[in-house]
Structures are given as structure tokens and as C-alpha cells.
Structure 1
Amino acid sequence: MAKLELKNLNKTYNPKVVPVKDISLTVDNDEFLTLLGPSGCGKSTVLRMIAGLEEPTRGQIKIGDVDVTHKRAADRNIAMVFQSYALYPHMTVYENLASGLKLRKVPSTEIKRRVAEVAEILGLGELMNRKPGQMSGGQRQRVAVGRALVRNADVYLLDEPLSNLDALLRERVRADLKQIFAAQKVPVVYVTHDQTEAMTLSTKVALLNDGYVQQLDPPARIYNNPANLFVAGFVGSPQMNLLTLPCQGRNAMLGNFQVPLPDLPTAPPQIVLGIRPENVRIAQPGDTQKIRGRVYLVENLGMHYLVSVRVEGSQTGAITVRALLPIDQNWSGEDITLTLPPEDIHWFDVQSGDALVRRQMLGVRG
């Protein structure tokens, strides 16, 4: 058992190309950490440095109590699953699974035992004599995962392993991966730009942008308590409403409607109000925080309509608020009154983008 530690990791190619600026994090035993972020955020570079495929410019990588920062990849006891499967096309499934162990001169009886164990876990028993060209994409991906599992590694690294699969197969293999790696009891680091994969697979998510960790938390906290505007806008589909509003006294002005500000030392001239479309509801008697506007766009998402409502204001002009509403009514062209529950509102600083109030301070779990 060994935990993975990254301390002040930096990778600089030249003064204008610095994909990883300063990243520190720890992945304990039993933790599945996903590095999530847009293209160019530094997540794949971090994974390659952990694997020993890239040399850090600065910083330290430790596995357990061992500093592996400058060790060769072959000396780190790390297993990696690649996006491209990386299987030998001329070898059978059994030979692909056993190849890494043979290179390490593991005794043949031990190879047979480990391969049989992994084949049982992954349901590969009937495929052992097939070659990659005779298998589906999902089957090939399971073999690629199997090649990593037979290693009994200290750390497992997965580089967008589902991106080559179609949507239905991706969902099925994603569920398999969650069960498989939960049983390994070692640190797992997974790279993806797909927030659904990050939210469903992970025990922790590190959301990266511009070479820094923007937030490191369990998925529910990432979703319910975004640390800043980038996190709030990146995680969630449909995207959170993020509205830059002027302030008057202790209220933010959304169109001609007042939204009470949170308890801040001083009221800023402007503030960003964030609220997820699923938290915007049709107003009911007794609701205190109401706004009114006209529907100008309705998108059918199957279980809900994503309804865009234009709220007019003399100071702010037209502001668009999106809400997920029931499909039992035709909302097109309607004037509707919505409510913004205070406990579901996020507030952000206009200049820094940082969250001004975290939701647990308002009594909301997350």
C-alpha cells in the first residue's frame, strides 16, 4: 500500500509554454482521483510526470515514502492504461496480459495465477485465445485494463481510456472500471475532460485550469460548492447561470427585481450571482424571491425542457435566466414568474472570481 504525493510540481518547456505551473495534491490508498479540465489545462502532463514519461522542471513526486521524481518509469511500479489501448496486435489476449510480467521475469506459475485472476475479474475467460483485431472496442479496453491490473502496481494511471468508445459502451465500461478499481485498494489517477466520468468514477476530483488546481474535493462538493467562477461554469450540464449584476444597497438587481445579497462586510458595486437551471423553479404562493420574464427559447432535453427566460430591466437591460422545467406544458412565448431559492444561490467576486459564500455556511450540505 502506498499513497501518491505531488509537491509544487512544475513543467516548463520554454517561458511561453508552461503547462503545469504549481500543483500539489495527495492521493491516498482507496482513492480514485480524477484530473479534470479543458484541453491544455495540464492534466495529461501531470499524468506523464507521475508515470516517469516527462521530467518535472521543479517539484517532487513521492510514492509511499520513496521519492521517485527522477526515477525511470520502469522503476516506479506504476501501471498505465492508455487511450489507444496499446495492445500487441499479433498476440492473443493471454499473451497481451502476460507480456509485461514476462519482461519482468516473473515465474511462469505466478504469471498464470495473476492472468487467471484478472481474466476472472474482467470477464475475459472466453477471449483468451483471441487477438485484438477479433474483439470489440469495449473488449479491447478491458484487456488494456487487465494488462495494468496483472502488475499489482503501487499506483494506477488511466489516460482518457473511454474516449474511443461510443456513448452506450462508454457508460457500461465506466461502471466496470468503478467496481474494478474500488477493489484494488491503491491510488488511482484518471485523466479526462468529461465531467460525467469525473463525477461518477471519482472519490476526489482535481479540477485544473491554466496549470493550477482550481479545486480539489469530492465530486459532490465540487458540484455544490464551486470554489470560483471557473469551477462553477465548467462543472454541470446545463451550465450554471452566471449573472453579473449591479448592486443597490444590500441587493443585487436582476432586471428590475431585487435579490438580497449575502452577509458581506461591504456591498460591492457589482457581483456575480450563480444558480443552476435545475434550482430555478416556477414560483409558488409563499415564495419570497421572485423574478418575472418572457420565454424566448425552449430546448427539449427529454425529461425536462431547458427554458431560456429574458428578464428586462431599466438598468441592466435584458438578462437571460435558464431553468429546467417540466415537459407537461408548452412554455414557448409565455410570461412566467420564477423563484430563485436563496439556499441555492452562489455568489462570486467580479474581479477575482472567487466564491464569496460557500453553501455549507448557508446550512446546505454538499
Structure 2
Amino acid sequence: MARLELINLNKTYSPKVIPVKDISLTVENNEFLTLLGPSGCGKSTTLRLIAGLEEVTRGQIMIGGEDVTNKRPGDRNIAMVFQSYALYPHMTVYENLCSGLKLKKVASEEIKRRVTEAARVLGLDEGLMSRKPGQLSGGQRQRVAVGRALVRSPHVFLLDEPLSNLDALLREKVRADIKELFAAQGVPVVYVTHDQTEAMTLSTKVAVLDQGYVQQLDSPERIYSHPATQFVAGFVGSPQMNLLTLRCEGRNAMLGDFGIALPGFVDSVLPNVVLGIRPENVRIARLEDTQTVTGKVFLVENLGMHYLISVRVDDAQGNSPTVRALVPLDQPWSNERITLAIPPESIHWYDHQTGDSLAKKKMGRC
């Protein structure tokens, strides 16, 4: 058992290429941390720094209280599962599973015990053990790659987009297996993905990265319900959150022709603010709703259980901001004029310049 700590971790390739910038975080035993973000945000580089496959420019990596920043990968007692599986094509499944243990000169009986246990946990039956990777399906190859990591009994597991090569149905099945499997290991797990569904379903903690910085480190529930920055709000959630830059007039932010009341914590003179609200929180207005906007539906998308409608809000200045809402499948909405409720309790407010949450800053007034 060992906790993983990253302390002010930096990686610089050149003055203009700095993929990892002052990342500090801790992953405890039994925690599953996902590094989530778009391509180029620094998540895979961070994983490679932890593994020792990249050299740290500045900062520290601690495993179990020991500084491993300058240790070789083989001396860190970590196990990594790669996106490409990285199996030896000329070896059988059994030989792939035990290859790392043989390099460490583990006793033959112990190797057999560990491989047998990993195969049992992963559902790799005896008939597969003599096959080579080219004779396996994508899901089976992924299980072998995970099994090779399991048999090492490492202090930390690292997984770099391990499901990206699988089709959608198989990805869902293997994702469930991974969640159950690593919950039983009792060691820190760091998982890299750009897929928010994987991050939200697998993790106990999520670090959302952008341009080398951690934008927010929190539970999946908090990441979704209380996004700390405009970037997190826009990146996490499907359909994507409505993010609208609005001009301020007194104590209102103007959404087209309609005033949206500003909360008390927005209390400095700002020309603009960003309003964020998820489509599932926007609804067809009822008589009791006091904060509403009216417009015309110009796009209807069938999502199976709901329609996602896009509404051009009435605007005398001709800007016609668009609000998207999830609505029932009970009528054809195309070209309808409708009134939408914008519930105040569902709105997130962001600084137009910095993208930071105004609720978190507790400063700024229009």
C-alpha cells in the first residue's frame, strides 16, 4: 500500500512547449484518479512522468513517502497499461502475463500462483493461455494487458486510455470490469482519458486538465454539479452546457431582450458575465416561473428519451443568442415559438475575462 503525491510537477520541452505546469495532487490507497482533458492538455505526459518514462523538469513524485523523481521506471514498483496493449506478439498469453515477473526473477511457483489468480479474476480461461495476441479479440488483448499489470502487485497502477481501441459495446463491458477489478486492489490508480463517461463512471476523483494546468480536482459529482471554471463547465457534460456571454445592465444580465437577475455574490462593475446552465435544467415555462425567455425553435435533435431543441431567443439588437433545452417527446417542436424557464438555482456564473466561477471567487458585481 502506498500513496502517490505529485508536488509542483513541471515538464518543459522548450520555452514555448510546457505540457505540465505546477501540478500538485495526492492519490490515496483505494482511490481511483482520472486525468481528464482534451488532446494536448498534458494528461498523458503527466502519466509518463509518474512512470519515469519522461524526465521531470521541476517538482517531485513521491510513492509511499519515498521520493522516486529520479528513479528508473523499473525501480518505482508501478505497473502501466498502455493504449496499444503493448503485448509481445511472439509470446503466448501465459508468457505475456509472466514476462515482467521473470525479469524480476520471481520464483516459478509464485509466478504460477499470480498468473493463475489474475487469469481467474479477468475471466481468461485456460484455453486462451496458449494463444498468441494475434489470435485474440480486442477485449481479450485488453484483459491480458491489464493482467500483466495485476500480477506485478505494484504500489501504483497507471492506465493510459486503455479502452480507446475498443468498440462502444465492448468498451462499456470492459469499463465495468475495470471498476470492479481495481476497487479490490487497494492501491492508488491513475487513469488517463479524454472520455468524460469513463471519467465520471470509474473515478473517485477527477482532475480536469487544460493547457498543462489542473482546472479542477474533485469528485465526479462535484465536477458535474459545481464546475469551477468555464472550461470545466463546457468540457464535462453531454449535451454540453449552455455558456452565454451576457452584457450587464444594473442588477440584470441581458439574455436577448430578457433580464436574468444577478445573484448577490456578483457585486463588482463588470461589463459582461458568462451564464452557464445545463440543457436538462432548462424547461418549458410554467405559470409559476418568473425568469423566462421566449424564442423560436430552429433545430430539433432526437436523443431517444428526449428532444434536444435549440432556440433563438428574441433579441431586438439582432444578436439572437441560442439556448438549448431537453424537452419531452410529446410534440413536434420544430419552428415553434416557445417560452423557456431559466431557474436561478441552476445557473452557474463565470468571469468573462478569466473563466473562473464567480460563486467561488465571491467577488465581482455588474
TM-score normalised by length of structure 1: 0.96
Report whether the alignment pairs 1:38 with 2:7.
Answer: no
Q: Secondary structure at the match of 1:198?
A: helix
Q: Secondary structure at the match of 2:214?
A: strand
Aligned to 1:54: 54
Aligned to 1:345: 347
Report whether the alignment pairs 1:107 with 2:107.
Answer: yes
| In 2, Cα distance between equivalents of 1:86 and 1:341 | 50
Q: What does 1:1-366 align with in structure 2 at a 5 Å threshold? A: 1-126=1-126, 127-263=128-264, 264-315=266-317, 317-357=319-359
| Superimposed CA distance per residue, residues 172-191 of structure 1 (whole angstroms, 9 cap, x where no aligned partner) | 10111000000000000001
| Superimposed CA distance per residue, residues 4-45 of structure 1 (whole angstroms, 9 cap, x where no aligned partner) | 000111111111111112111111111100111111111111
1:100 Cα deviation after fit:
0.8
Amino acid at match of 2:167: D
Q: Secondary structure at the match of 2:358?
A: strand
| Superimposed CA distance per residue, residues 59-114 of structure 1 (whole angstroms, 9 cap, x where no aligned partner) | 00000110000000000000000001111112211111111111101011111111
| In 1, Cα distance between equivalents of 2:64 and 2:4 | 6
Amino acid at match of 2:204: T
Aligned to 2:364: none
Q: Secondary structure at the match of 1:357?
A: helix
1:317 Cα deviation after fit:
2.3
| Superimposed CA distance per residue, residues 276-332 of structure 1 (whole angstroms, 9 cap, x where no aligned partner) | 011110111211211111001111111111100000222462110001111121000
| In 2, Cα distance between equivalents of 1:89 and 1:245 | 57
Gap runs ≥5 in structure 2: 362-366
Q: Secondary structure at the match of 1:178?
A: helix
**Alignment CA distance shift 1:315-1:248 (3 Å):** farther
| In 1, Cα distance between equivalents of 2:139 and 2:205 | 25
Amino acid at match of 2:323: V
CA contact (8 A) 1:310 1:319 kept: yes
Amino acid at match of 1:242: L
CA contact (8 A) 1:249 1:267 kept: no
1:196 Cα deviation after fit:
0.8
Amino acid at match of 1:59: G
| In 1, Cα distance between equivalents of 2:167 and 2:359 | 40
1:47 Cα deviation after fit:
0.4
| In 2, Cα distance between equivalents of 1:164 and 1:220 | 27
Amino acid at match of 1:258: G
| In 2, Cα distance between equivalents of 1:267 and 1:357 | 15
Amino acid at match of 1:2: A
| Superimposed CA distance per residue, residues 130-168 of structure 1 (whole angstroms, 9 cap, x where no aligned partner) | 211111000100000000000000000000000110111
Calculate the aligned-residue CA RMSD, in Å: 1.2
Q: Secondary structure at the match of 1:205?
A: strand
CA contact (8 A) 1:245 1:316 kept: no
| In 2, Cα distance between equivalents of 1:352 and 1:316 | 27
| In 2, Cα distance between equivalents of 1:251 and 1:267 | 12
TM-score normalised by length of structure 2: 0.96
Gap runs ≥5 in structure 1: 360-366
Q: Secondary structure at the match of 2:345?
A: helix
Amino acid at match of 1:309: V
CA contact (8 A) 1:346 1:358 kept: no
| In 1, Cα distance between equivalents of 2:138 and 2:163 | 10
| In 1, Cα distance between equivalents of 2:166 and 2:8 | 35
1:204 Cα deviation after fit:
0.5
Q: Secondary structure at the match of 1:70?
A: coil
**Alignment CA distance shift 1:316-1:28 (3 Å):** farther
Identity %: 75
| In 1, Cα distance between equivalents of 2:267 and 2:40 | 37
Amino acid at match of 1:233: G
1:268 Cα deviation after fit:
2.3
